[in-house]
Structure 1
Amino acid sequence: MRKLLVFCLDALCTIDLEYMKTLPNFKLAFEKGSMVKHVEPVYPTLTYPCHCSILTGKTVKNHGIIHNEIVDVENPRAPWYSLRSQIKGETLMDIAKFNGYTTCSLTWPVSGGADIDYNMPMIVPIDYQGDDPYQFYVNYSTQELLDRYYWKYEHYLKGEDKNLDEFTMHLALDIIEDYHQPDVMLVKMCDLDTVKHCEGINNDEVKKQLRKHDRQFGQILEAVKRFGDYENTNFVILGDHGQQNIKRHINFNLLLKENGFIQTDENNHLIDWQAYCHSASMSGWIQLKDPKDENLRQKVHDFLMKIKKDPQYNIGYVFTKEEADEKFGLASEKIDFVIEGDEPMTFDSTLSGKDLFEEYLKPGWHHSLASHGYLPFRDETTAFLAFGKNVKEGVVIERGSMLNEAATMATMLGLKMEDTEGIQWQELIK
């Protein structure tokens, strides 16, 4: 039976490929496989929407996961998306299981409670610092995995030195050995994204992290050779989005507040609002409180176009909700306009800051040195590499859409995904 193993590196950029070619395990993809060099993600280029698009072949308006976080003006600390039931439509994993393949998903976002044989989702809240992460896994993970492995590796989820990638890797190696390599495996690694956020996109720390991921991938390859079916496995290395170095920053809600669209009390707590900016990191979403008020819509549109003409604000793009839907499949009741910087820029939704252009290079600051959420066609893009039983050697597609990945991986398994917005990269398949 054909098999598929996906090794996902969060924030893998096209610019990483040249260095990856020199590493002992990643280089197999370049020597024995094929690739799509520039993969344009969906908009916004945020982790959770992109992971859902990878598995569904759909834009965010059609799979329903528009952001990492549930967007809510009244609750700026709303929870992140986490449950498979929040995704609309079928995923690659659903189709694989329906067709008799055993499935395994490790640390994949928005997979809690999914009908997957061996499932350990990304489910612990991003800011959780306590010592009981088990409470978040129970009822949403495969209980057999929790019973068998959690006690061995829970220390990787606790304390100052916690490391989700180490937890994921230990699970992956044990599952390949103990269950003789499930037919379809998703293994998602996070640390490359973290390093780039903190250090920027192209430096020695990034190379160090790529070397670590190369060693991890080598361990997976060896585990499959020892305990699985290496000869019939298709290996895929992919990213969910790229990252860009941040050049500017704006606290856009302060600008809306200064211009009368937001009202706060003396403690900067929200009292009322007519237009509000949600941060998608390197893009901003403007939501109207009353989207049926055409006078308000025109007033906000005129304001945004005025701001766009003023170079001090660095606004390079303004899209109406209709344009965002038509161009990018980005649609939600939370979005009436989308704005983005001319130079790479982050947007903040704070109401309490005093500086409209807060210093973005501040050590330890949450946006740090690089981020994502920007337009899909802007550098840096991500990439898709594959090698194995059903993948041709030496094919390089210069540019393509993330929406094609689900159908392509299904084809590697001898399956079809009918309900996608993408098409398979047939030229990669034997």
Structure 2
Amino acid sequence: MTKKKLFVFCLDALCSMDIELMRTMPNFKFMFEQGSWVTHMHSIYPSVTYPCHCSIVTGNYVEKHGIPHNEIVKAGDQNAPWYNMRQDVQSKTLLDYAKENGFSTCSLSWPVSGGADYDLNMPMIVPIGYNGPNPEQFFESTATAELVERYFPRYGHHLIGEDRSLDRYTMGLATEIIKDYRQPDVMLVKMCDLDTVRHRYGVMNGHVIEQLHKHDAEFGVLVEQIRKHGDFENTDFVILGDHGQTDIDHVLNFNILLKQAGFISVDENDQLIDYDAYCHSVGMSAWISLKDPSDEKMKQKVHEFLLSVKADPKYGLGHVFTKEEVREQYKLTGPFEFVIEGEAAISFGNTLSGDDAFSETRVGDYKTAKASHGGLPYKEQQTTFIACGPSVKQGVVIDQANLVDMAPTMAAMLQFKMQDVDGIILDPLLK
């Protein structure tokens, strides 16, 4: 029996609204002409990049895979480190199963994959704010040494300087790997720039259309490499996203309200001195943590305060979940006691400075940018899942499915099964 291959092209913040345009593009269009797709793929809660990518490859919600946020949050820390290491993910991934089933595996710029036991691995791991001259240091012991030695001298310059670009770096490696390794059996390639452009300019505009055309061209280059150096006829191609985005009206700096209510104390420079309750932004939602989670009286006091803010229409707070409620409804666990979210399209800031709880959106912070995500999965633009190849039927369109369905469906394309997953196989798409 001929061995199947799988090539996954992940576009961060790909939205279902993009399908109409993608169907007209020179390289994406064959996926729609010959394949099938899910129009509205519901993300997880919170719909932020790192937890979403863990759900894509594990088929599980946060409760099982254990990555609840991009950042490892800590009260008062405005520059918290991000989750980076595969060992932090508590579920097996699609690539783990693939390797066990005899497939060669390759992961490029995938979040939370540092140190993963894949055949070829170059994780998304250079800190988002790093501007220094030595990004190679972050790949030591986290990436496959052979890839660093072979390709970093040629493409590492893309990670240095004001015009640094992880996508250019990723494309350089991906094109070379397909040729030099004759197309690894299961290959994940993750691109970031669509998400960046949407944060900066909004969900749909000329900049976004231009970026979609760039991704179309990139996809075309990689498909052509597979035609030349791989096994195109036996490859299932998948284009997928992790979450949508939503245009933001304004930012609610909830720590200002907590400070004014006496739950937070700061010094003359608005630096945290102490707290009973603290707000951590997750973009369009936020977590409220307690200094002492075992203090039931304080927990009740904070809960009553949150409900009072929700009752005041000027703040636009639409949801207050206890940790028990959000676990039951959305399979979300994390270092919090409550989760809050706006009724309309607002995002949350972490700042302790000043006395005004409201502020404008701003470029440079993904949580409070012009467009954002991280909210309830049904509220923002949905993402999508497009598949084409020898395992996939032609012309099937599923209106709605869930992000956790991606991994078991891709495993089924490769003819193995993932165990104990929250998602289901999308059988209507498959032959």
* d(CA) in 2 for partners of 1:365, 1:382: 22
Question: By how many angstroms is 1:69 displaced?
Answer: 0.7
From 158, 161, 164, the counterpart of 2:163: 161
Contact 2:76 2:271 in 1 (8 A): no
- For 1:167, the aligned partner's letter is Y
From 288, 299, 302, the counterpart of 2:290: 288
Question: By how many angstroms is 1:10 displaced?
Answer: 0.3
Q: How is 1:30-429 mapped onto 2 (pairs within 5 angstroms)?
A: 30-332=32-334, 334-360=335-361, 362=362, 367-429=368-430
* d(CA) in 2 for partners of 1:411, 1:349: 42
Question: By how many angstroms is 1:288 displaced?
Answer: 1.5
SS in 2 for 1:311: coil
* d(CA) in 1 for partners of 2:185, 2:37: 22
- For 1:175, the aligned partner's letter is I
Could you list the per-position Cα deviations for residues 184-222 of structure 1 after superposition, in whole angstroms to 9, with x for gaps in the alignment? 000000000000000000111100000000000011110
Query: What is the TM-score with the length of structure 2 in the denominator?
Result: 0.97
SS in 1 for 2:52: helix
What is the percent sequence identity of the aligned residues?
A: 56
SS in 1 for 2:358: coil
Could you list the per-position Cα deviations for residues 42-98 of structure 1 after superposition, in whole angstroms to 9, with x for gaps in the alignment? 111000000000010111121111100101115342210111001002110100001
Deviation beyond 4 Å, 4+ runs, structure 1: 362-366
User: Which piece of structure 1 moves more, 173-182 or 141-150?
Assistant: 141-150
Relative to structure 1, the CA distance from residue 396 to residue 91 in structure 2 (aligned partners, 3 Å threshold; closer, same or farther) is same
- For 2:122, the aligned partner's letter is M
Contact 2:106 2:187 in 1 (8 A): yes
* d(CA) in 2 for partners of 1:308, 1:225: 56
- For 2:255, the aligned partner's letter is N
* d(CA) in 1 for partners of 2:352, 2:76: 12
User: Which piece of structure 1 moves more, 288-297 or 143-152?
Assistant: 288-297
Question: By how many angstroms is 1:263 displaced?
Answer: 1.0
Could you list the per-position Cα deviations for residues 276-324 of structure 1 after superposition, in whole angstroms to 9, with x for gaps in the alignment? 1100011010112222222212211111111111111010111111110
* d(CA) in 2 for partners of 1:280, 1:110: 17
Contact 1:57 1:405 in 2 (8 A): yes
- For 1:226, the aligned partner's letter is K
Question: By how many angstroms is 1:364 displaced?
Answer: 5.5
SS in 2 for 1:404: helix
SS in 2 for 1:313: coil
Could you list the per-position Cα deviations for residues 335-371 of structure 1 after superposition, in whole angstroms to 9, with x for gaps in the alignment? 11111111111101111244210122x5666633101
SS in 2 for 1:312: coil
Contact 2:35 2:394 in 1 (8 A): yes
Contact 1:248 1:343 in 2 (8 A): no
Contact 2:411 2:417 in 1 (8 A): yes
* d(CA) in 2 for partners of 1:16, 1:301: 40
* d(CA) in 1 for partners of 2:282, 2:40: 22
* d(CA) in 2 for partners of 1:424, 1:364: 38
- For 2:224, the aligned partner's letter is E
SS in 1 for 2:6: strand
SS in 2 for 1:225: helix
- For 1:415, the aligned partner's letter is F
From 21, 27, 31, the counterpart of 1:25: 27
Contact 1:83 1:113 in 2 (8 A): yes
* d(CA) in 2 for partners of 1:365, 1:97: 37
Contact 1:63 1:88 in 2 (8 A): yes
Query: What is the TM-score with the length of structure 1 in the denominator?
Result: 0.98
* d(CA) in 2 for partners of 1:368, 1:48: 18
- For 1:371, the aligned partner's letter is S
Contact 1:45 1:241 in 2 (8 A): yes
* d(CA) in 2 for partners of 1:69, 1:407: 27
User: Which piece of structure 1 moves more, 266-275 or 149-158?
Assistant: 266-275
- For 1:206, the aligned partner's letter is V
User: Which piece of structure 1 moves more, 100-109 or 139-148?
Assistant: 139-148
SS in 2 for 1:201: coil
Aligned length: 428
SS in 2 for 1:161: coil
Contact 1:56 1:92 in 2 (8 A): yes
* d(CA) in 1 for partners of 2:151, 2:107: 15
* d(CA) in 2 for partners of 1:363, 1:71: 21
SS in 2 for 1:379: coil
Question: By how many angstroms is 1:248 displaced?
Answer: 2.0
Could you list the per-position Cα deviations for residues 93-146 of structure 1 after superposition, in whole angstroms to 9, with x for gaps in the alignment? 100001110000000000010001111110111110001000001111111111
- For 1:424, the aligned partner's letter is I
Contact 2:13 2:245 in 1 (8 A): yes
Relative to structure 1, the CA distance from residue 363 to residue 8 in structure 2 (aligned partners, 3 Å threshold; closer, same or farther) is closer
- For 1:67, the aligned partner's letter is H
